[in-house]
Every structure is written in structure tokens, then in C-alpha cells.
Amino acid sequence: VEKNPAQPEFHQAVKEVLESLKPIVDANEEKYRKEALLERLVEPERQILFRVPWVDDNGQVQVNKGFRVQFNSAIGPYKGGIRLHPSVNIGIIKFLGFEQIFKNSLTGLPIGGGKGGSDFDPKGKSDREIMAFCQSFMTELCKHIGADTDVPAGDIGTGAREIGYMFGQYKRIRNVYEGVLTGKGLTYGGSLARTEATGYGLLYLTEELLKVNGDDIAGKTVVVSGAGNVATYAIEKAQQLGAKVVTCSDSTGWVYDPDGIDVAALKEIKEVKRARLTEYKNYRPNSEYHEGRGVWSVKCDVALPCATQNELHIEDAKQLVANGCKMVAEGANMPTTMEATEYLQENGVIFAPGKAANAGGVATSALEMSQNSERLSWTFEEVDAKLQGIMVNICHNMVDAAERYGHKGNYVVGANIAGFEKVANAMLAQGIC
């Protein structure tokens, strides 16, 4: 804490991981201590902080902060998204980059951990302003990334439009056409199924983990928070699998639709119009719109937090348990506070942590990297089938690791250990670096 002051989210992520690694650390104590493995693991290999100046539509110069944390490259080039949100600071980027190390390892693919972003707020900006920001951001970032070094992707506030502007600027300055970013448009190296991957992957894992626990997703009532990329495709896949999703939300309010969320309407509001959820009622008169937060108060079998960190608190966990919720799977990164996680686990709720449950996005990004390297594009069905296989594998690796280390059913322990093992072994093999 003294070494990294004022970074509460980073402390929270490190505490959760290190506490759950205790069984494997105890078993290898001498080796890890001698090589300062944990001390090296929590220190990013490189942190890049930079100025992002751009000109707004009034001709006024604006200045934002840019970040890229290249956390760990033991098993592959750094890989992780770019978050554009006013709340972004170095502590948030470090927490996300740290989590990314284990998530990427869990996918079984050769990708290291990194994350980046800016305190730029894309809301209410014109296309030209978004482009001006993205070009300025990439003008500096391009010096530090590359297809074999560091491959950023989307995250909150960074979708296909932003990735397109960044890719264009990278190519223009570096004069190389390579897979330096993922989440690209389909006409210039993007992968089919990448847009859907995090949400779909979340449901593939949820389905499998319910099966492991003798249950089934079909017929379940599901509550989802968020209305962005992850939430939208989680809702779509949940409904394809026979569940009914009755909520979604954004940072100002939430929707309850007793007949099941209309995904086509949601996509039109968020992806086409870039509007707010207040519009949803125009499409579905039977639905309700409420200001503030509240999705966790709705009775459900499965809860999928898909908006942002620390959005599911202890009071929410109590309400979910009281309402008979059987499973929580994190679509967002660290959406459940530690207190809430413990409460859910102690009360018999199946809890799937984000680093396993939302790994489908980065896994498919790695598949996009493979396609770029061989200069080929795979079909939607091919990518989707690989994604499904990866999520089922992650599920079983997490379940098995928890059991192997004496914590059967604790998937936080399982996911952290399964992700850590490979990174730790690679770090030890590569010597002190």
C-alpha cells in the first residue's frame, strides 16, 4: 500500500488474488521467496503515462491523460483493452492489467497481461472529436506497441469506431499493416464473432458451470446490469439458450422488462442511436424504467454483472440470496466487492469470477491475432466453436484447480490458481527479469 498510494482498486485486485493463491504459494514457499516471484508479479514490467492533447469542435485545446501498463509478458505479448472513461487513473489501469495476466493465461493462449486507457469521456462528443482524440492518443502509444509486443483492444468507451481511428493512425505513423489492435472492423482484419465474444463466452461458461453443479441455464430468469458490448451479447446468448433476461442498465438508470429484454431494440438504442435507456419504453410499453441502480433487487436465478467494477455491493448480495439467486457470473471486471463475493460464496451461490467468466473477449482477440498472422479469416461458426471450446476448458480448469488445492467449489481460488500456475512457471524458467 505504501509503495502504491491512492490505488484502492489495484490493492483490492492484488489482495483478492494473493489471498486465493495461498494454497499454491504455501506448497512452493521457498522457491517463490528465493526468486521474489510474488514481488515481481505485482510490479508492472513497464508503465507508460503520456499527454493526449486534441482540439474540440469549438477550436479549444483539450488535454487528457493517457496510460498503458505493460504488466507481464512471461507467456506472450502484452494484451488487454483500452478504457476511455472519466474515472480512469493509474490505479484502475493497474488493477485491470493485473487481472488480465491471469485471465489471459486461463484462456490457454500465448498472451501476456496489459491494459491502457484515458480519462477522456467519449459521451456527447462528435465523431470528429472522437477521431481527434484517438489520433492523438495513438500518436504516442504507437511508439510502445506492435503485433509481437503489445496488442491493445476495446473496453469501456472503446468500440469498433475508436479502434478504427486508432488503427488508421498507427498505420499512418508506423507504416506497417499488422494486427496491432484487435476488435477491428471486418474489412480490415477484424474477426467474426469478436463483437459477441465476451457476452457469448460468459454464457458458455455459465451454462457449463451450471451443468457441473447439476443444473441447466434453460428456463432460468436472469438479471443483467450494463447495456454495452458485454451486456448486450450476454443477453442475446442467454435468450438463445432458453433463459429469460428481465433487466439491463446504464450509469443513469435501469430497465425491467417482464417479457424479456428485446435485444434488437437495445442494439438500436445503444449501438445505432447511441442514446440512453430511457428510450427503451418507446419500443416496449410493458417495460419499466427506473432512475438510479436496482437490478439486483429483481428476483432471479442467475445474476450477470456486466457494467463496471464494484457495482454489486454487500446489500445487493444479501438481496440476491434472499431472492433465491443460484449463480453470479461476472461479465465485467471485478464488479462484485470482496465482501459481497464472500457473502455469496458462504450462502451457497455459485460464483464465477470475471477473469474466467469474461475471458471470451480476450480469447477471441487472440484468435483475431492468429488470423492476422496467417492473413486469413475464419467463419463465424469456426470462431464461435473455438470460443465455446475455450470457455468450457476454462470452466473445467478452474473447477479442477479449486479441487486440487482443497477448495472444491471456490471458483475464485480455482481461477486464480489455474491462471497463476502457468505464468509462475514461465517466470521461473526465464530467470530474474
Is residue 155 part of the contact set for ligand NDP (CB under 6 A)?
Answer: yes
Q: Which x/- pattern over 60-99 shows residues binding ligand NDP (rule: CB under 6 A)?
A: -------------------------x-x------------
Nearest residue (CB) to ligand NDP, 139 versus 336:
336
Using alpha carbons only, what angle is made at residue 212 by residues 211 and 213, rounded to the nearest 5 degrees? 85
Q: How many residues does the chain have?
A: 433
Q: In whole angstroms, what is the distance from residue 91 CA to residue 88 CA?
A: 8
Q: Which x/- pattern over 93-132 shows residues binding ligand NDP (rule: CB under 6 A)?
A: ----------------------------------------
Is residue 361 part of the contact set for ligand NDP (CB under 6 A)?
Answer: yes
Is residue 310 part of the contact set for ligand NDP (CB under 6 A)?
Answer: no
Q: Which x/- pattern over 263-302 shows residues binding ligand NDP (rule: CB under 6 A)?
A: ----------------------------------------
Active-site annotation holds for 3: no
Q: What is the dihedral of CA 72, 16, 252, 249, to 10 degrees?
A: 90
Residues 228-247 that bind ligand NDP (CB under 6 A): 228-231
Cα 29 to its chain centre, rounded Å, is 31
Q: How many helices (H) and strands (E) does the chain have?
A: 17, 13
Rounded least distance, CB 26 to ligand NDP, Å: 30
Q: Which helix (H) or strand (E) is 98 found in, with range?
A: helix 90-106
Is residue 307 part of the contact set for ligand NDP (CB under 6 A)?
Answer: yes
Rounded least distance, CB 398 to ligand NDP, Å: 16
Cα 400 to its chain centre, rounded Å, is 23
**What order do you get walking across the sheet with 150-153 strand by strand?**
46-55, 61-72, 112-118, 78-84, 150-153
Nearest residue (CB) to ligand NDP, 76 versus 139:
76
Other C-beta atoms closer than 10 Å to the C-beta of 211 total 13
Kindly name the residue from 79, 115, 237, 270 that is annotated as catalytic.
115
Is residue 154 part of the contact set for ligand NDP (CB under 6 A)?
Answer: yes
- Name which position in 250, 262, 368, 384 contacts ligand NDP (CB under 6 A): 250
Q: In whole angstroms, what is the distance from residue 316 CA to residue 9 CA?
A: 19
Rounded least distance, CB 217 to ligand NDP, Å: 20
Give 116's strand partners.
68, 82
**Binding-site size, ligand NDP (CB under 6 A):** 24
CB half-sphere exposure, 321, CA atoms < 13 A: 19
In one-letter notation, the amino acid at residue 136 is S
**Can you read off the three cell numbers belonging to residue 344?**
455469496
- Name which position in 25, 332, 350, 356 contacts ligand NDP (CB under 6 A): 332
Give contact residues for ligand NDP (rule: CB under 6 A): 85, 87, 154-157, 198, 226-231, 250-252, 306-308, 331-333, 358, 361
Catalytic residues: 115
